[in-house]
Amino acid sequence: MSERPTTPIVAVALDGAGWHPAAWREEAARPEALTDGAYWVNLARRAEEGVVDLVTFEDSFGVPVDPFADPTGERTDRVRVRLDAELVAARVAPATRHVGLVPVVTTIHTEPFHVSKALATLDHTSHGRAGWQVRVSALGSDAALTGRRDVPDLTYEDYLAGRGTDYVAAQFAEAAAVVETVRALWDSWEDDAEIRDVATRRFIDADKVHTVDVETSWFSVRGPSITPRPPQGQPVVTALAHATVPYELAARTADLVFVTPHDDASAASILAEVREAEERVGRTGQPLRVVADLSVVLDTAGETGAARLARLDARASEWTTDARILTGSAADVAVVVAAWTDLGYDGVRFRPAVLPDDLDALVDDVLPELRARGLARTAYDAPTLRGLLGLPTDVPNRFAAAV
C-alpha cells in the first residue's frame, strides 16, 4: 500500500471565465477565448507554475446552467458554452509537463467503451498524467438531448428535496457499472501485449489482449479496447460528492473524492460520512483521498476579496454555490487549509471565482504561503498523477496470469 502524500494535495478547478457567474464581464476576462485551445493551455501552464498537483476541467452533458440561481437556463447573462473537457485536456497535455489533467466526463448517456478509449488516449498523450472526474447525467433535460431513454421529469430542486430517490439510486448504480467497465477495458490489454516483432510479423501477442464481456441491465460491452493499457495502468478516477449515494459511488469506484464543506463543523461531519460510506460498501485497499472544494475570491492589488465579491454579485446576483466561498488574503486561505488538513483531509481544490485574476493570486500569493507552512508541494517529485497523489504506481492487471 502506497503512503499518502507528505504534503496536502492542491488542485485547481477550471471552468469557463471562472466560477462566479459574472466572471466573464471582468476587465481581465477573455470571454471570446473560451472556445480557443490556447486559452486553456495558458491556464493549465499557469497552474503548473504554481506546482499544483492537478487541474480539473468542468463539463456537462447539457448546456451549462447554474442550478442555484438559474436552474432552467433561461438567463442570458451567464456563460452558456463549453468545449468537451476531455478534448481540452488532450489539447493541454503536450503543452504541459507535470500537472495532472482531470476532465469531467459524464456517464449515463455516454458509452463506456468510448469513455475508456478517450481517457486511455489522454493518459498516453500526457505520459501518465490523466484522471477522470465522473459525473452522473441524471436530469430529464440531459436525456432529451439524445432521446434514447425516458426518465422522470425531475428538477434539480426535486433532487435537493429528496424526491425521486429510487431513480437517483438507479442512476448512480449505473454510473458505478460504467466506471467498473471502463476500468476493465483499461486492463483488457496487458502491459506487454504489444510486441512489435517485425521478424515474426506480430505486432501484438493476441493471448494478452482480452475481452471484458460485461453485461448489465443498461449496456453490454464485449471489448477489448482498441487502445493499449494506459501508462498508469489505471488513470486516477475522481468524483464530486455531496450526499450519501454519491459518497458510496466514490467509495466503490474512485481513488479520490471532492467534497464541499462550508465550515469546520461540516468539514468534520462530511469526512466522517465518507469514511462510513467506505465501510458500508466494503472498500478495500487504498482509502479514498478526500479533497475539500473551496471557492476563492482573493485579495488583489488595490481591492480586497470581499470588495471584489460584492462588485461581482452586484453585476449578477448573490453567488450561491455548493462549496464554501472564501474571500481574503493568502494567510486567510492558509488558515482554512491547515484546519481542514488537521481534521484529516488530504488536500483542497480551489475554484477561482475569476480567471485569470484568482488563478494568478493563487499562484503568486496563496501557494507560496502554503508552501511556507508545509501545506503544498515545493516541486514535482513523481512523473505520473498516481505518483503525485501517493497512489500505487504498479497497478496489477486483472487479466494477467499470476506469476
The answer to whether residue 223 sits within a structural domain is no
HSE-CB for 6 with a 13 A CA cutoff: 8
- Domain CATH for 261: 3.20.20.30
* Spatial contact of 325 and 20, defined as CB atoms under 8 Å apart: no
The answer to whether residue 250 sits within a structural domain is yes
The answer to whether residue 82 sits within a structural domain is yes
pLDDT attached to residue 394: 96
State pLDDT tens for residues 45-71: 999 999 999 999 999 988 887 766 676
Q: Tell me the percentage of the chain whose pLDDT exceeds 70.
A: 96
State pLDDT tens for residues 322-370: 999 999 999 999 999 999 999 999 999 999 999 999 999 999 999 999 9
Average pLDDT over residues 247-251: 98
Domain containing 120: what range?
9-137+235-388
Average pLDDT over residues 154-177: 83
pLDDT attached to residue 403: 46
Q: Tell me the percentage of the chain whose pLDDT exceeds 90.
A: 83
Q: Which residues contact 172 (CB under 8 A, 6 or more apart)?
A: 136, 245, 246, 248, 249
Beta bridge partners of 292: 259, 348
The answer to whether residue 402 sits within a structural domain is no
Angstrom distance (rounded) from CA 42 to CA 95: 9
The answer to whether residue 84 sits within a structural domain is yes
Residue whose C-alpha is closest to residue 212's, from 401, 402, 398:
398
The answer to whether residue 172 sits within a structural domain is no
- Answer whether residue 2 shows pLDDT above 60: no
Number of domains in the chain: 1
The answer to whether residue 154 sits within a structural domain is no
State pLDDT tens for residues 85-140: 999 999 999 999 999 999 999 999 999 999 999 999 999 999 999 999 999 987 77
| pTM assigned to the model | 0.95
* Spatial contact of 236 and 102, defined as CB atoms under 8 Å apart: yes
pLDDT attached to residue 156: 67
pLDDT attached to residue 402: 59
Comparison of pLDDT for 157 and 253, the residue scoring more: 253
pLDDT attached to residue 163: 75
- Answer whether residue 401 shows pLDDT above 90: no
The answer to whether residue 174 sits within a structural domain is no
